Amino acid sequence: MLKVGLTGGIGSGKSTVSSALAAYGAAVVDADAIAREVVEPGTPGLDAVVAEFGEGVLAPGGGLDRPRLGEVVFADADRLAALNAIVHPLVARRSAELMEEAVAAGVEVVVYDVPLLVENGLGPLYDVVVVVDAPDEVRVERVVRSRGVPREQVWARIRAQADRDARLAAADLVVDNSGTPQELRERVARLWEDLLARA
């Protein structure tokens, strides 16, 4: 089974590509969703986070107060390492479970949707790294139009992420999404053929 790491900056079209690959028959594993799932209320993961960081990181409803936890860990590398030491093994275990389910179901291609693949140097975990690419200006316009986020906020996100060249340097395959949605669909069709050939 082929393990594909899919990434792309905000507004690149990564989610669009991952949905299309799912429609072709890939199993899609969403890294952000798993990271949320392992610390949902009632999980050992959340218990461990509270044991480490205190009840102050809980929201009134009993779930994790992410902005609060973010303030704590992003100001302090040791605290961030402590959080990662709790969350990363849980994410790895849950990913492995999903992977086993995919193998049991006869899936040939598993796509890991990993927004920060390049930033976190995770390329070596995958057989193939696929980068969805479009110029920064194009991505900004898409996000402003589709999500109503202020333009300057999107630029700030882009500046905080890996730049385009760094992402392209980490890619085994690039999906150019600088064109129309129809062009993207055609490129994803070719990508799927390519992935199946490698699987």
Binding residue (CB under 6 A) for ligand ADP from 6, 162, 184, 195:
184
First and final C-alpha spacing in the chain: 6
- 75 binds ligand ADP, rule: CB under 6 A: no
CA separation for the pair 48, 91 (Å, rounded): 14
Q: Which stretch binds ligand ADP (CB under 6 A): 7-15, 39-47, 94-102, 117-125?
A: 7-15
- 181 binds ligand ADP, rule: CB under 6 A: yes
- 142 binds ligand ADP, rule: CB under 6 A: yes
| Helix runs in the chain, H state only | 14-24, 31-37, 44-53, 66-74, 77-104, 136-147, 151-160, 164-169, 181-198
Q: Which stretch binds ligand ADP (CB under 6 A): 48-56, 65-73, 175-183, 187-195?
A: 175-183
Nearest to 115 by CA among 181, 66, 65, 160: 160
Q: Which stretch binds ligand ADP (CB under 6 A): 26-34, 85-93, 154-162, 174-182?
A: 174-182
Which residues make beta-bridge pairs with 7? Answer: 131
CA separation for the pair 146, 72 (Å, rounded): 31
Kindly tell me which of 68 and 147 has the beta carbon lying closer to ligand ADP.
147
- 160 binds ligand ADP, rule: CB under 6 A: no
Where does this chain bind ligand ADP (CB under 6 A)?
A: 8, 10-16, 142, 146, 177, 179-181, 184
